[in-house]
A = this chain, B = another copy of it.
Amino acid sequence: MARRPTIADVAQLAGVSRATVSFVLNDRPGVAAATQERVRAAAGQLGWTPSRSARALSTGRARAVGLVLTREPDLIGTDPFFPAFMAGIESVISESGDGLMLHVTSPRNEMDTYRRLVDDQRVDGVFLTDLRVGDPRPELLRELGLPAVAVGADDGVEGIATVNLDDRPVVAGAVHHLVGLGHRHIAYVAGPAEYLHAQRRLGAWRDALAEAGLPQGPVLPGGFTAEGGALATQALITRGDRPTAIVYANDLSATAGMAVAQEAGLRMPDDLSVVGFDDVPLASWTRPSLTTCRADAASWGRAATRALIETIEHGTTPHVELDPAALMVRDSTGPAPARP
């Protein structure tokens, strides 16, 4: 009696068949207006909500999308992208009452996680983030037939929707900003080479320097981590030809780099200019505040979700290009020091 009402209860109360109730629920044409009214009233009176599992079973759709967050356990929480990205996803799927299945996994288990996602049929599609060079996932998903949208990939991925934000303009903008301030010797602290987006940012930096007619500065790995940024910075500032500016692949590296430089007695931006990437919440509150690049992760999430839904429902694979990131100029960049 405290049992949830089923479609049969509604049908009986409304004096129609279950099929009719189902038709009304899915507003299918061909049901008389008066009947619709009766069914709706009955459903309302009983407080009936159709059972997800039953619908999933007969329609074959889970009405949920999946996000796999692959990180080494100790790096979880260092990435400012995901919370906002997830908020963007949610804002779109909640319109249709769909859900988000989240899986946090380590790189070792990543492929298994995707396989299980498919086997379990718990999601109708997945987001593919942090694409890597030679990434096996697009192939795997196409093979398994699971709709997917690649986030931050240009449209090179065959048969998979993509949502991309071109980092090049903003990286170029950062370099121009530095060049305009008189910098001629600009270094780069890169993210892990396996990531496509890390590669693209590095390439953009290279191109921007070339375009400005400047020599390629040194490139050191920073691994997107604080420790990596610190080590790279240490190496850079103790070189014979110390750069006057460093562009970092993310804010975490940049902030750690600033700490190391300050420790070494360098003043910023007087002795050294620093540019980050991400615009983490703390970026405006470091000393000096950090000049960095801000991408709108929530709108990535929204766009990616719309593209994914389109793939799921119509089998099309749209390629969406987002508004470029913005350069947030703060106090960590300033005029290049006079040449000694």
A285 touches B298 (CB 8 A): no
A77 touches B73 (CB 8 A): no
A121 touches B53 (CB 8 A): yes
| CB-CB under 8 A for A84 and B76, given A252-B281, A282-B255 | yes
The contact of A287 among B82, B100, B121, B259, by CB within 8 Å, is B259
B87 touches A230 (CB 8 A): no
The contact of A285 among B71, B73, B255, by CB within 8 Å, is B255
| CB-CB under 8 A for A252 and B282, given A51-B121, A53-B56, A54-B57 | yes
Confirm or deny: A99 has a beta carbon within 8 angstroms of a beta carbon on chain B: yes
Say which size band chain A's interface belongs to.
35 or more
Q: Which residues of B contact A36 (CB under 8 A)?
A: none
Q: Which residues of B contact A90 (CB under 8 A)?
A: 102-105
- A76, A262, A289: which has the most chain B beta carbons within 10 Å? A76
The contact of A100 among B102, B119, B226, by CB within 8 Å, is B102
Q: Which residues of B contact A12 (CB under 8 A)?
A: none
Query: What is the bound-complex CA distance between A82 and B78, given in angstroms?
Result: 11
Q: Residues 294-329 of chain A: 1 if any B CB is under 8 Å from the residue's CB, otherwise 0?
A: 000110000000000000000000000000000000
Confirm or deny: A137 has a beta carbon within 8 angstroms of a beta carbon on chain B: no
A49 touches B119 (CB 8 A): yes
Q: Which of chain A's residues 185-240 have a Cβ closer than 8 Å to chain B? A: 226, 230
Confirm or deny: A101 has a beta carbon within 8 angstroms of a beta carbon on chain B: yes
CB distance from A8 to the nearest CB of B (A): 15
Confirm or deny: A142 has a beta carbon within 8 angstroms of a beta carbon on chain B: no
Query: What is the bound-complex CA distance between A282 and B250, given in angstroms?
Result: 12
Q: Which of chain A's residues 72-89 have a Cβ closer than 8 Å to chain B? A: 73, 76-80, 82-84, 86-87, 89
Counting from the closest, the 7 A-B pairs by CB-CB distance are A53-B56, A77-B83, A90-B104, A53-B57, A49-B119, A256-B285, A102-B102
